[in-house]
Amino acid sequence: MPLTDTAIRQAKPGDTPRKLSDERGLYLLIQPSGGKLWRLDYRFDGKRKTLALGAYPDVSLAAARKLRETAREQLAAGQDPGTTRKQAKQAARVAAANSFEAVARAWWEKWRTDRTEGTADGAIRSLEIHAFPRIGAMPITAIGPVDVLELLRKIEAKGSTEILKRVRARIGEIFIYAIANGIATSNPAEGLHKAVMPHTEHRRPALRAADLREFFIRLDAVRISQPIKLAIRLLVLTFVRPGELRCAQWPEFDLEAGVWTVPAERDRTRGLTGMKMREEHIVPLSRQAVAVLRELQDHSGGRDLLFPNRNGQGRPISDGTINSALRAMGYQTHEVTGAGFRATATGALLELGYRPDVIDKQLAHRERKQVFAAYSHHAQFLPERTKMMQAWADHLDALRKGARIIPFPETAAG
C-alpha cells in the first residue's frame, strides 16, 4: 500500500531500524534515533543495490517519488543510478575547486610574488569587491563574455575607469593562467576593452621647476618634524619613489662614495618594500644629498631606518606621511604629491638637455620593449647619472636662491 504524509508523520521509531514501504522499491527507513531516510532498492547487472535519496521532511514524499522515477529512467537507459550520482557529486567537487574565485586565488598567490604587498593586497581586494560576488562561485569554464561584461558594466556605471581597467586586466590574466594550467580553454575577457569606457591616464600632480623656490620657502617655514623636512628634501634631490625612500635603511648608503643602493627587496614583515620593478637600483648622491643624510643621522638614534615610525616596532613612517606634510605646507592634492617630484625632475632635466634614456634609468623605469630591454638592461649610465644628479642638486640650489638658470650643455652631453 502506498505511503501517505500522514502515515509518515505518525510513524514512531523503534528499538531497531524499520522500513515503511511505498512502491517500486521506494521506502522510508526509520532509525531508532528518530531519523527518517528515503531509500530505493534496485537491481543493476544482476546485483541488488540501494540508493540514498535524502531525509524526510527535507525531501518530501512527492520529491522522493520523483527521484525514484528519475532513477528508473536511468536504469531503463542502461545506467546505474548510484554511479551516476557519484559522478555528479565528483563533477560538483571539481566545479567548486575550479570556480572562478578558487582559480583567481591560485593565480594571485603566484602573481603576488613579483609585486609589493600593497599592490598585491589591492589586487585581491578589487576582485573581492567587484568580481567574486558576481562570478566567483561559477565554474570558470561556464563563464562567458556576457558574464564578464555584466560585472564590468557595474564598475563602469560608477565612473571609475581606473578600477574598470585594472579589474578587466586581472580577470584576463586569471583566464590566461587557467588556460595555461588546463582548467579553461578560452578567455572571455579578451577584447572587452572595446565594449566599455576607455581609461584616460591623468598626469600626476606635480610642481614645475619654477615653483620650487616658493616650495623651499614653505618647507623652511612649515611646522613639521625636522626628519620629515629632510625626507622631503631627499625626495626632491633623488626623485625616487616615496616608498623607496620611506623604507630606506642606513646599510644601503655609502656616504663616502656618494652612492645609495636600493635593494630589490626589503623585510616585508616590517612593512619595508624594495624596488617596484624588483631590481636593485643605484642612486648617485649629490654633495647636497650627502649633507642632508649626515644631518639625518643625528636624528636616527642608532636605528637602521632613516625614517622610523614613532610608534616603534621597527617599522617605517606610513605611506601618507610625506603627503600629509605637503598638505601642511599648504599644497592641495591636485597640486603636488610625493610621487610628483619625479615628474618635476624629469621635465626640468629634459629642458636642461639630458638624454631621456639617462633620465629614465635614474627613474628606475623598466624598458617595455623587450628586444631593447635585452640590450639596455646592463646600461647603467652611472657616469652620466652621477653628473646629472649633481647638476640637478646645483640647479635646485640656484632655484632656492632665485638665481638665473643656465643650461649645462657640456654636462648634459656626458
Q: Which three cell numbers stand for residue 140?
A: 570558470
Dist. CA 212–CA 394, nearest whole Å? 13
Domain boundary among 132, 164, 194: 194
Q: Of the spans 268-282, 320-334, 372-386, 392-406, which averages the highest pLDDT?
A: 320-334
Q: Which domain holds residue 29?
A: 5-90
Closest CA to 104 of 171, 190, 150, 168: 171
Per the structure, the count of domains in the chain is 3
- Whether residue 394 is contained in a domain is answered as yes
Dist. CA 367–CA 380, nearest whole Å? 13
Residues 12 and 140 grouped into a single domain: no
- DSSP category for residue 242: H
Residues 213 and 285 grouped into a single domain: yes
Print the SS3 string covering 29-40: EECCCCCEEEEE
Q: Indicate the pLDDT class of residue 404, thresholds 50, 70 and 90.
A: very low
- Whether residue 201 is contained in a domain is answered as no
Rg (CA), the chain: 34
Q: pLDDT value at position 409?
A: 41
Question: For residue 410, is pLDDT > 70?
Answer: no
Q: Indicate the pLDDT class of residue 412, thresholds 50, 70 and 90.
A: very low
Q: Which three cell numbers stand for residue 339?
A: 610621487
Label residues 326-336 b or e (16+ Cβ within 10 Å = b). Answer: beebebeeeeb
Q: pLDDT value at position 95?
A: 59
Closest CA to 82 of 51, 53, 59, 42: 51
Residue 375 main-chain phi, psi, to 5 deg: -90, -25
Chain center to CA of 110: 11
Residues 321 and 285 grouped into a single domain: yes
Hey, how many other C-beta atoms are within 10 angstroms of the C-beta on 345?
26
Cα 215 to Cα 275, 331, 341: the distances in Å are 27, 9, 12
Residues 285 and 224 grouped into a single domain: yes
Q: pLDDT value at position 400?
A: 87
Residues 187 and 336 grouped into a single domain: no
- Whether residue 199 is contained in a domain is answered as no
Taking all residues of the chain, what is their mean pLDDT, rounded to a whole number? 86
Dist. CA 331–CA 27, nearest whole Å? 79
Q: What angle do helix axes 287-300 and 226-238 make, rounded to 10 degrees?
A: 150
Domain boundary among 140, 163, 194: 194
Residues 233 and 322 grouped into a single domain: yes
Percent pLDDT > 70 in the chain is 90
Question: For residue 393, is pLDDT > 90?
Answer: yes
Q: What CATH number corresponds to the domain at position 372?
A: 1.10.443.10
- Whether residue 203 is contained in a domain is answered as no
Q: pLDDT value at position 230?
A: 95
User: Once rounded to an integer, what is the mean pLDDT over residues 304-309?
Assistant: 90
Question: For residue 219, is pLDDT > 50?
Answer: yes
Q: What CATH number corresponds to the domain at position 132?
A: 1.10.150.130
Domain boundary among 90, 118, 139: 90
* Each residue's pLDDT tens digit, 83-93: 888 877 776 66
- Whether residue 136 is contained in a domain is answered as yes
Dist. CA 222–CA 200, nearest whole Å? 35
The two most distant CA atoms of the chain are separated, in Å, by: 109
User: Once rounded to an integer, what is the mean pLDDT over residues 276-300?
Assistant: 89
Residues 71 and 47 grouped into a single domain: yes
Residues 311 and 402 grouped into a single domain: yes
Residues 271 and 385 grouped into a single domain: yes
- Whether residue 37 is contained in a domain is answered as yes
Q: pLDDT value at position 385?
A: 93
Q: pLDDT value at position 366?
A: 57
* Each residue's pLDDT tens digit, 196-212: 877 655 556 888 888 99
Q: pLDDT value at position 135?
A: 94
Q: What angle do helix axes 321-328 and 226-238 make, rounded to 10 degrees?
A: 100
User: Once rounded to an integer, what is the mean pLDDT over residues 53-60?
Assistant: 92
Question: For residue 158, is pLDDT > 80?
Answer: yes
Residues 386 and 288 grouped into a single domain: yes
User: Once rounded to an integer, what is the mean pLDDT over residues 369-384?
Assistant: 56
Q: Which three cell numbers stand for residue 1?
A: 500500500
User: Once rounded to an integer, what is the mean pLDDT over residues 252-275?
Assistant: 88
Residues 156 and 222 grouped into a single domain: no
Q: pLDDT value at position 160?
A: 78
- Whether residue 95 is contained in a domain is answered as no
Residues 251 and 339 grouped into a single domain: yes
- Whether residue 355 is contained in a domain is answered as yes
Q: What CATH number corresponds to the domain at position 9?
A: 3.30.160.390
